[in-house]
Amino acid sequence: MLAEQRRTTILDILARNGSVSVTELHRRLKVSRETVRRDISRLANENRLQKTHGGALSMDAQEPAFAERMSVNIRGKRAIGRAAAELVADGASLIIDSGTTTLCLAEALAPRRRLTIHTNDVRVAGQLSGRNDNRVFMLGGQIQGAEGAILGRDATIMLANYYCDFAFVGASAISAERGLTDYSREAAELRRLMLAQARMTVLLADKTKFDRVAPVMVSDLVGLAKLITDVKPTGAMAQALKKASVEVLVA
């Protein structure tokens, strides 16, 4: 396959899927990883794709801004938040991820007392601190602009010191083939650690996150105990969740 044909194929894959890894292109194009990386670099220099760690991202495939995400399917997200809050008793310890659906969970937890919360979201911390004898720990690191989320090595180092009853983790994208994926390496690493640091792992994902793939791997579905969503998954997604023994709760 000629170089221009390879690059056209890469762009076609991105147009369909939004992201692709070097490993997948190496397998599909039957060329070396170094050749794939050179093709990605050239297309990135031409502003035809976004180069990422281990692959490429479509120019259109990026996570929307917080305010935009908060306005999408807010009824479903609040229903998920209320259902998740029903799992939590007074005195529980929680890891709460950043995001719009986890913020809805924080709102629903307002009546609970004596919670211990570890979070990387300044909005979640503000919602739950200073009330009902809660203890709130902010994970360290740099705040990511208007997102109000803290990511990076400082956050993972701090979180590694704690083990909690629950981890409530949001999803940027979830698919039957790829499991949980995210838009940055830092976010993926922190979410992966959140899932490892709790007795009960709960994914909060509304219908808009299904059958989507982001460029960075978080985890497969096997490590999840529960998924709380607003619409029952169907087809390949439902089969993958069943195979991974994930309990699905529909809010």
- The pLDDT mean for the chain works out to 89
Residue, of 109 and 73, whose pLDDT is higher: 109
Please state the length of the chain.
251
What average pLDDT score do residues 192-202 get?
Answer: 97
Other beta carbons less than 10 A from residue 130's beta carbon: 10
Residue, of 52 and 242, whose pLDDT is higher: 242
- In order of start, what are the domains of the chain with their CATH numbers? 3-57 (1.10.10.10), 66-250 (3.40.50.1360)
What average pLDDT score do residues 11-27 get?
Answer: 84
Biggest distance spanned by C-alpha atoms of the chain: 66
Q: Parallel, antiparallel, or unpaired for β 150-151 and 142-143?
A: antiparallel
DSSP-derived secondary structure letter, 207 = G
CA distance 55 to 10: 11
What is the reported pLDDT for 59?
Answer: 67
How far is residue 46 from each of residues 7, 22, 86, 100, 183, measured CA to CA in Å? 11, 18, 50, 34, 21
* Token pair for 1: 């396959």
CA distance 29 to 169: 35
Name 96's bridge partners: 119, 168
Say whether pLDDT at 18 is over 80: no
CA distance 250 to 235: 16
Could you read off the pLDDT of 31-83 as tens digits, one per residue? 999 999 999 999 988 888 888 777 887 766 555 554 554 456 788 899 999 99
What is the reported pLDDT for 192?
Answer: 95
Half-sphere exposure of 202 (CA within 13 A, CB side): 26
Q: What's the start-to-end Cα distance of the chain, in Å?
A: 49
Residue, of 215 and 181, whose pLDDT is higher: 181
Other beta carbons less than 10 A from residue 36's beta carbon: 24
Q: In degrees, to the nearest 5, what angle opens at C-alpha 168 toward C-alphas 166 and 169?
A: 140
